[in-house]
């Protein structure tokens, strides 16, 4: 009994250590651009974990998920920028963002309770676009969102009076701003992972899975499907709201174009590609779909230069092409995702 | 399980039940009753409205008319509240949770319960359906059709039902498996659970039940004891293939 527990603790300590030195190594070897990429990867992992609750656990296909990210981001932007002259601390705004996004989740969920599958997808897609279009146009008659120009000069997130955007000197060693953000995001991502795991094993988690598998049988088992579905929308949305707030503080700028349909689809791809309903798989999906395109963006030009002596194809368009091919290959050869739940994989193999 | 309120009223009484799908009336005002401890079947051809009737009873479909269950009107009760009153549904097509294990499926049957007797009831279900114990860790989706039907019944029993609504338990099963499923249903009835069975296999249904109702295009056309129905020339001609 003691041995495995000790081993698990040692394993966790090693993972913690690896996560702690990762940005330092990456920063030294590849430069701070890549630490910034890691920061974005962590934000996407948080988003994917939130969407995983809705899509993976409860089986509700949501194509407008990025709207909750937008709600969180704009809430932060409005409450901590010169736009309204408000400068609330992040520790007030982030929980508030979770709450407000959760309320938006319920607002979206309530009219779609009877819908499933494709129909639900279409309605949620519409909802995502409505939010984006509102953000784009709420600059007149009263300027709330500053329209397409977006909101700039947002306050960075500060801890103990130190804005994370500014480098910090510790023991003669300078930690860059992106590294400081990395540490904050890692801690929050771990928190979100922990909440996700606890939810999965909870009574609510079981109810979500039951609804995903068979809604009528779930009702017959005494599950209040309406409330349980709304809870899935609210929980998923609140994860997105937190990630959105972090995004706004990190970028110090938000505009509606960051929250388009493509972003929703990207996050959905992370969930599906990694392994729907399986938290480690979803993390892997988030990581791969942020890191690989980025690596490709930087790598494709030089590689072509070396092979053909000139750049034949624009890396940007090539990136989307390869992305599509990769998706098709995964769906052909690993239909349950790259790292699905062990028993789900078994079931598919037996079919 | 002793039930105190034996006022003489039937456990389930349905009055003028109507179900509409858009403009089409699938159930056109049916009335029937099931007494405590009885085993009653609704038989009829495909599309006669049997499943719609059962779904309306389980509050899965909006319906007009009155449903009295255990001295209460339940036509406005939310569907998830019924199992707490002892009204359990084994849905058409079994409705097992395919990506949960057999044990987890059974546990879901006791989802609404917070008493300490769930383990004892699980033991009872395992005694009745030993195959489920053997396959406890297997995913429900990998079971055979017959085993899934057994699991669906077992899951409903985990909710401690007083009245069990069974929707086409023989559907899609091999003849031998159908026999086994019906044996289980008979045992459940013998243990004191009242049963309302919807079934296309009229011969089998009339064989195990006390009384039966024949449904035809949304109406009840015949109502009698199972033995008399089985002997009725009209039933024999239409549903028993003679």
pLDDT tens digit string along B168-204? 999 989 999 999 999 999 999 999 999 999 998 899 9
What per-residue confidence (pLDDT) applies to B57? 95
Average pLDDT over residues A234-260: 96
Q: With an 8 Å Cβ cutoff, is B99 touching chain A? A: yes
Please give the interface size between A and B, counted as residue pairs whose CB atoms are below 8 Å apart. 83
pLDDT above 90 (res A172) = no
The model's pLDDT over B22-41, given as tens digits with 9 standing for 90+, comes to 888 999 999 999 999 999 99
CB A281 within 8 A of CB A337: yes
- Tell me if residue A173 falls in helix, strand or coil: strand
Best mutation target among A207, A220, A336, A349 (most B Cβ atoms within 10 Å) is: A220
For the CA atoms of B150, B156, B161, B165, the dihedral, rounded to the nearest 10 degrees, stands at -80
Angle at A8 (CA atoms; ends A4, A14), nearest 5 degrees = 145
| pLDDT-based confidence at residue A4 (cuts at 50, 70, 90) | confident
Least confident range of A69-73, A112-116, A328-332, A341-345: A341-345
Whether A153 and A24 map to the same domain: the answer is no
The pLDDT value given to residue A2: 58
- Does residue A335 form part of some domain? no
Same domain flag for A218 and A92: yes
Angle separating helix axes A177-200 and A203-213, nearest 10 degrees: 80
Q: What is the DSSP letter of B142?
A: G
Q: From B85, which residue of chain A is nearest by alpha-carbon distance?
A: A222
Residue among A58, A219, A343 with most chain B CBs within 10 A, to mutate: A219
Task: Judge if A124 and A228 occupy the same domain.
Answer: yes
- The share of chain A scoring above pLDDT 90, in percent, equals 69
Which residues are within 8 A (CB) of A39 and not within 5 positions of it... i.e. 6 or more apart?
A178, A181, A182, A185, A250
Evaluate whether residue A217 is within a structural domain: yes
Kindly state whether A219 is in contact with chain B, defined as any CB-CB distance less than 8 angstroms.
yes
- Go through chain B and tell me how many residues it has: 242
Distance CA(A296)–CA(A159), nearest Å, equals: 34
In a domain, A282, yes or no: no
Tens of pLDDT, residue by residue over B122-161, are 999 999 999 999 999 999 999 999 999 999 999 999 999 9
Chosen domain end from A260, A277, A294 = A277
Instruction: Tell me how many degrees the CA angle A60-B51-A213 measures, rounded to the nearest 5.
Output: 25
First to last CA, chain A: 37
- Asked if residue A268 is part of any domain, the answer here is yes
Residue A351 has pLDDT above 90, yes or no: no
Residues A60 and A5 in one domain: no
Give yes or no: residues A22 and A169 share one domain.
no
Asked whether the predicted pLDDT for residue A303 surpasses 90, the reply is no
Taking the Cβ of residue A345 and every Cβ of chain B, the question of whether any pair is shorter than 8 Å is answered with no
Residue A305, pLDDT score: 81
- A11 and A72, same domain (yes or no): no
Judge if A17 and A164 occupy the same domain.
no
Q: Is residue A152 part of a domain?
A: yes
Chain A residue numbers touching B82 (CB-CB < 8 A)? 220, 222
* Mean pLDDT value of segment A155-160: 92
| The CA-based dihedral angle spanning residues B202, B207, B212, B213, taken in that order and rounded to the nearest 10 degrees | 10
pLDDT value at residue B3: 47
Residues ≥6 apart with Cβ < 8 Å to A309: none
Mean pLDDT of chain B: 92
**Claim to verify: residue A60 and residue A110 sit in the same structural domain:** yes
Kindly determine whether residue B95 and residue A207, on different chains, have CB atoms separated by under 8 Å. no
Domain of residue A122, residue span: 33-277
Same-domain pairing of A70 and A109: yes
What percent of chain B is modeled with pLDDT above 70? 97
A39 & A24 share domain: no
Nearest CA in chain B to A344: B99
Which own/partner contact pairs does A141-150 have at CB distance under 8 Å and 24+ positions apart?
A: A144/A78, A145/A74, A145/A78, A145/A256, A146/A83, A147/A256, A148/A255, A148/A256, A148/A257, A149/A255, A150/A253, A150/A254, A150/A255, A150/A256, A150/A257
Q: Is the pLDDT of residue A83 over 60?
A: yes
Domain final residue, candidates A253, A277, A301: A277
Map residue A219 onto helix, strand or coil: helix
Residue of B nearest to A57 (CA): B99
Q: Chain A residues with CB inside 8 Å of B99's CB?
A: 209, 212-213, 343-344, 347
Please check whether residue A310 lies inside any domain of the structure: no
pLDDT (0 to 100) of residue B2 = 42
Query: pTM for this structure?
Result: 0.89
Element spanning A176, H or E: none
Helix (H, G, I), strand (E, B) or coil at B1: coil
Question: Mean pLDDT, chain A, as a whole number?
Answer: 90
Query: What residue ranges in A150-233 does DSSP mark as E strands?
Result: 158-159, 162-163, 168-170, 173-175
Pair A72, A14 in one domain: no
Partners of residue A207 in chain B, C-beta under 8 Å: 111
A58, A149: one domain:
yes
Confidence of residue A336 (pLDDT cuts 50, 70, 90): confident
Q: Which of A142-151, A249-258, A291-300, B207-216 has the lowest mean pLDDT?
A: A291-300
Beta carbons of A213 and B98 less than 8 Å apart: yes
User: In total, how many domains does chain A have?
Assistant: 2
In-domain check, residue A221: yes
- Find all residues with CB under 8 Å of A263, minimum gap 6, and list them: A66, A69
Domain end point (choices A247, A277, A307): A277
Has residue A288 been placed in a domain?
no
């Amino acid at each position: 009994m003691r041995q495995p527990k000790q081993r698990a603790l040692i394993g966790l300590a090693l993972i913690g250590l690896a996560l702690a030195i990762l940005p330092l190594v990456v920063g030294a070897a590849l430069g701070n651009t890549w630490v910034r990429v890691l920061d974005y990867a962590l934000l996407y992992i948080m988003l994917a974990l939130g969407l995983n609750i809705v899509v993976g656990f409860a089986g509700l296909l949501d194509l407008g998920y990025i709207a909750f990210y937008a709600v969180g981001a704009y809430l932060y932007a409005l409450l901590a920028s010169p736009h309204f002259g408000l400068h609330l601390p992040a520790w007030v705004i982030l929980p508030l963002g979770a709450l407000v996004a959760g309320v938006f989740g319920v607002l979206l969920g309530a009219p779609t309770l009877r819908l499933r599958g494709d129909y639900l997808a279409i309605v949620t897609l519409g909802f995502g676009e409505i939010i984006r279009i509102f953000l784009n146009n709420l600059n007149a008659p009263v300027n709330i969102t500053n329209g397409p120009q977006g909101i700039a000069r947002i306050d960075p997130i500060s801890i103990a009076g130190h804005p994370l955007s500014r480098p910090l000197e510790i023991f003669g060693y300078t930690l860059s701003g992106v590294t400081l953000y990395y540490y904050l995001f890692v801690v929050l991502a771990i928190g979100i992972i922990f909440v996700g795991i606890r939810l999965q094993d909870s009574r609510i988690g079981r109810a979500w899975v039951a609804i995903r598998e068979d809604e009528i049988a779930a009702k017959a088992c005494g599950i209040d499907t309406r409330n349980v579905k709304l809870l899935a929308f609210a929980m998923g949305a609140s994860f997105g709201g937190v990630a959105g707030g972090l995004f706004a503080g990190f970028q110090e700028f938000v505009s509606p174009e960051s929250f388009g349909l493509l972003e929703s689809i990207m996050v959905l791809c992370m969930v599906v590609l990694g392994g729907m309903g399986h938290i480690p798989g979803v993390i892997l999906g988030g990581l791969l779909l942020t890191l690989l395109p980025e690596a490709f963006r930087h790598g494709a030009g030089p590689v072509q230069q070396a092979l053909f002596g000139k750049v034949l194809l624009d890396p940007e368009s090539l990136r989307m092409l390869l992305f599509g091919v990769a998706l098709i290959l995964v769906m052909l050869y690993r239909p349950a995702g790259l790292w699905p739940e062990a028993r789900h994989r078994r079931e598919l193999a037996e079919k | 399980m002793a039930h105190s309120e034996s006022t003489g009223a039937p456990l389930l009484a349905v009055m003028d039940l109507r179900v509409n799908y858009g403009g089409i009336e699938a159930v056109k005002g049916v009335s029937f009753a099931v007494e405590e401890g009885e085993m009653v079947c609704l038989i009829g051809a495909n599309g006669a409205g049997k499943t719609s009737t059962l779904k309306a009873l389980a509050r899965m479909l909006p319906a007009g008319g009155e449903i009295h269950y255990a001295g209460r009107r339940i036509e406005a009760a939310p569907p998830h509240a019924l199992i707490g009153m002892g009204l359990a549904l084994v849905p058409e097509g079994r409705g097992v949770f395919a990506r949960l294990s057999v044990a987890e499926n059974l546990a879901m049957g006791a989802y609404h319960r917070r008493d300490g007797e769930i383990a004892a009831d699980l033991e009872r279900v395992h005694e009745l359906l030993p195959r489920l114990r053997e396959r406890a860790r297997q995913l429900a989706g990998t079971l055979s059709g017959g085993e899934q039907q057994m699991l669906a019944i077992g899951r409903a029993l985990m909710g401690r039902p007083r009245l069990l609504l069974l929707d086409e338990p023989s559907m899609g099963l091999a003849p031998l498996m159908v026999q086994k499923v019906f044996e289980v249903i008979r045992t459940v009835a013998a243990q004191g659970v009242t049963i309302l069975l919807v079934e296309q296999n009229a011969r089998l249904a009339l064989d195990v039940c006390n009384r039966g109702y024949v449904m035809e295009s949304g109406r009840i056309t015949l109502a009698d004891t199972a033995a008399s129905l089985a002997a009725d020339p009209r039933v024999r001609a239409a549903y028993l293939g003679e």
